[in-house]
Structure 1
Amino acid sequence: MTSVGNAPRLADRVLGGWLGRIAGNMLGKPVEQGDQWTRDRIDGYLRRADALPLTDYLPEPASEDDAARLRPEWRSCVRGRIDGSCRDDDVDYAILGLDLLETHGFGFSTEQVGDLWLLRLPYHQTFTAERAAYRNLANGLRPPVTATYDNPYQEWIGALIRADIYGWTCPGAPQRAAALARRDAVLSHTGNGVYGAMWAAALIAAAFTAPTVRHAVDTALTVIPASSRLARTVRRATSLHEARLGWEDTLATLSEETAGLGWIHTVPNAAVLTAGLLYGEGDFTRTVALTVRGGLDTDSNGATAGSVAGVLTGADSIPARWKDPLRDTVRSAVFGFDGVRITDLADRTVRLAEVSP
């Protein structure tokens, strides 16, 4: 493990990653329908609720029409109504990854990832590529066929949202984090779907030691093929930011260049996430707000942005308005983990990070 300072500082930053992931996920959850909740519609919602600039969880809808468009879970995710975290796969997979490392160690196999899914994760709480892989596992197929048979979602965002735990447990070691994420990702994904997981894990690992978020983004690019569409899109986002194009114009350009891939594909979501990180400039609130306002898979992007920003700042520096409503409690579909304390998850993660090779 690469040194990231003293143990208390490591613990604060790991806790920041967990809190950031959960808060960012809940911020984006009510508008998680990228083909309906475009950037313009999200900002229109915020204007009608007098909530721009966005500095807190989403406000309650200002009209019945707005309420009807939100996901049904919105009543548990908007400001003033939150009482602990909502259940969501973006958090379930971080918990499942923690259980994987505690059970099998850092030498786990892809087959063991699949076995743990069957043991701990309800089938109906899986979606897209994960559901296809789960079904293939239940039908007796083994990796890597589980990722390719009857699975049209191989490059979607599912593997990326499973990657945080590998970054948190490999602080300052992005190459190692990416290798672990790849071993997990190939159960259900191929191509840019796998690269997205590797990139996200490396991004989070790099955030422990990077002097700026841009350094973390640049470091994460080194773990995936430079010619991949994911790498080219992330580099494009960094170049537009470097050219001082505004956030809105950057997203409009990236949206045009990734058109046709769909709102759950890894590549356009990585573009939104990269823009949110760069224009957020390391500030937790600004990072998660811009990322969610960017649209597409808002809860997944908000979760990853919150994880990176939380590691960069540490838990102590995340404003209380994001942390306090969570009540240090996680709702989870992972068997044996519903109601677990966020601080307990973070403590267990730190113990793994301290023994990481």
Structure 2
Amino acid sequence: MTPVVDAVVVDADVADRIHGGWLGRIAGNMLGKPVEQGEVWTRARIDRYLRRAGALPLTDYLPEPADAADEADLRPEWRDCVRGRIDGSCRDDDVDYTILGLDLLTAHGFGFTTEQVGQLWLLRLPYLQTFTAERVAYRNLADGLRPPLTATRDNPYQEWIGALIRADVFGLTSPGRPRRAAALARRDAVLSHTGNGVYGAMWAAALVAAAFTAPDPRAAIEAAQAVIPASSRLARTVRRVLSLHTAGLPWSDTLDVVGQETAQFGWIHTVPNAAVITAGLLYGDGDFSRTVALTVRGGLDTDSNGATAGAVAGVRCGAAALPPQWAEPLADRVRSAVFGRDGARISELAAETVELARAAE
């Protein structure tokens, strides 16, 4: 049964949870960034990497690679993302869009239009820092198209994960209000996505919003399920993960089953990545470190999945209770390609988010 979730008063505890959501998103993104290439860094290979480095169970950022073959296949930014080397966060689109969403709500309020989302992209986001569906939509905007055509012309990425990674800020500014968060995320998502690509954004925003009041991760997932069409492939896949968890299958077996059932989708598609996020949250069982570790070990779009699961887990535990090995290396700083935001303080971004959430009460 879908849990009842209600809007909450944005008091000091909720403000701490919003801060935790920001820290969790950035930490989860940093954890997954070195191995973000799903066809190379499979679940089995990620675990081999960790075993070679003596880092299982994983309770901290990735260790440095133990052999040259692994090092050659890591993302170029890996040296700034592994334990012992982190000094503030790396720049990444998973965080750029959260910051850009914050700027959107500050500039236009909660009544923003999809056209205003596009205008902000053109003004504040460099074209070469966009990818897949977002780059197509950006090009279509520059060509003079308006939504929803920006999402559909020459866009083979319409159901990929891009809109989902943009959605967290709508949940962080709608604590306890998953339907409101989903409606905001949909308005943003249709600039570049259709179908399950849009549903993924709605689901992720609702998941973050529900995390403020749901009694456990499963209840938050069920609340997020309620905002998307039950017959969609996304909803059916998330239900499948929920049922396998209920049946007592181990985490790895659950991902094996769902991986086979979604094998026709690529590693950046919304549906299989939502399954990895769902499994990470369920089997993480409310523990921040276990949640982000399992999610990243699940493979596919590791940095995006780690970011979303980290945001949910960070909201649930709050900034004050976030394990220090995740928060302290970030040094309260974030790199960003969003114009005017590079080097922003994470605590200040969280404070801005708190003010928006209070304005919406």
Residue 39 (1) aligns with residue 35 (2): no
Q: How does 1:202-221 map to 2 (within 5 A)?
A: 202-221=206-225
> What one-letter code is carried by the residue in structure 2 that aligns with 1:169?
T
**Paired position in structure 2 for 1:249:** 253
* Residue 66 in structure 1 maps to residue 75 in structure 2: no
Relative to structure 1, the CA distance from residue 229 to residue 6 in structure 2 (aligned partners, 3 Å threshold; closer, same or farther) is closer
Secondary structure of 2:354's counterpart equals helix
Which residue does the alignment assign to 1:232? 236
- 1:267-325 deviations in Å (ceiling 9; x for gaps): 00000000000000111000000000000000000000000000011111110000000
> For residue 307 of structure 2, what is the aligned residue in structure 1?
303
Displacement of 1:4:
3.3
Paired amino acid for 2:20 = G
**Contact 2:164–2:270, Cα closer than 8 Å, also in 1:** yes
**Aligned sequence identity (%):** 76
107, 126, 131: which one pairs with 2:111? 107
Matched, 1:348 2:357: no
Please list the CA deviations of residues 244-283 of structure 1 after superposition, one character each: whole Å capped at 9, or x if unmatched: 0000000000000000100000000000000000000111
Alignment of 1:75-94 (within 5 A): 75-94=79-98
Aligned CA distance change for structure 1 residues 150 and 6 (closer, same or farther; 3 Å): closer
The list of structure 1 runs, each at least 4 consecutive aligned residues, that deviate by more than 3 angstroms after superposition, is: 1-6
Per the alignment, residue 60 of structure 2 pairs with 56
Cα-to-partner distance string for 1:221-248 (whole Å, 9 max, x where unaligned): 0000000000000000000000000000
Offset of residue 355 of structure 1: 1.1
The answer for unaligned runs of 5 or more in structure 2 is none
Q: How does 1:316-331 map to 2 (within 5 A)?
A: 316-331=320-335
Aligned to 1:148: 152
Counterpart AA for 2:128: H
Cα distance between partner residues in 1 of 2:243 and 2:17: 28
| Offset from partner CA, 1:22-74 (integer Å, 9 cap, x none) | 00000000000000100000000000000000000000000111100101000
CA distance in 2, matches of 1:155, 1:351: 32
Q: Which residue number corresponds to residue 312 of structure 1? A: 316
How big is each residue's C-alpha offset from its partner over 1:183-225, in whole Å with a ceiling of 9 and x where there is no partner?
A: 0000000000000000000000000000111000001000000
Partner of 1:181: 185
**How far 1:108 moved relative to its partner?**
0.1
Amino acid at match of 1:147: A
Separation in 1, partners of 2:6, 2:319:
20
Give the counterpart of 2:267 among 257, 263, 273.
263
In the aligned structure 1, how far is the partner of 2:11 from the partner of 2:336? 28
Count residues in correspondence: 357
CA distance in 1, matches of 2:13, 2:32: 28
The alignment status of 1:191 with 2:192, answered yes or no, reads no
Indicate how the Cα distance of structure 1 residues 230 and 6 shifts in structure 2: closer, same or farther if over 3 A, else same. closer
Query: What TM-score, normalized to structure 2?
Result: 0.98
Give the aligned residue type for 1:49.
A
Cα distance in 1 between the residues matched to 2:224 and 2:275: 14
> Whole-Å Cα distance in 1 between the matches of residues 239 and 6 of structure 2?
26
Map 1:101-180 to 2 at 5 A: 101-180=105-184
Q: Specify whether residues 139 and 121 from structure 1 end up closer, same or farther in structure 2 by C-alpha distance, changes over 3 A only.
A: same
Question: Partners of 2:80 and 2:7 in 1: how far apart?
Answer: 39
DSSP-derived class of the 2:38 partner: coil
1:28 match: secondary structure? helix
Return the offset for 1:105: 0.2
TM-superposed deviation, 1:3? 4.4
SS of 1:105's partner is helix
Q: TM-score, normalised by structure 1?
A: 0.99
| Residue 14 (1) aligns with residue 18 (2) | yes
C-alpha distance in 2 between matches for 1:84 and 1:4: 31
For structure 1, the 5+ residue unaligned runs are none
Residues 7, 177 of structure 2: 8 Å contact kept: no
Aligned equivalents of 1:330, 1:238: Cα separation in 2 = 34
Which residue does 1:96 correspond to in 2? 100
Q: Distance in 2 between matches of 1:303 and 1:212?
A: 19
Distance 2:160 2:338 in 1: 22
CA distance in 1: counterparts of 2:8 and 2:355, whole angstroms:
14
Q: CA RMSD in A?
A: 0.9
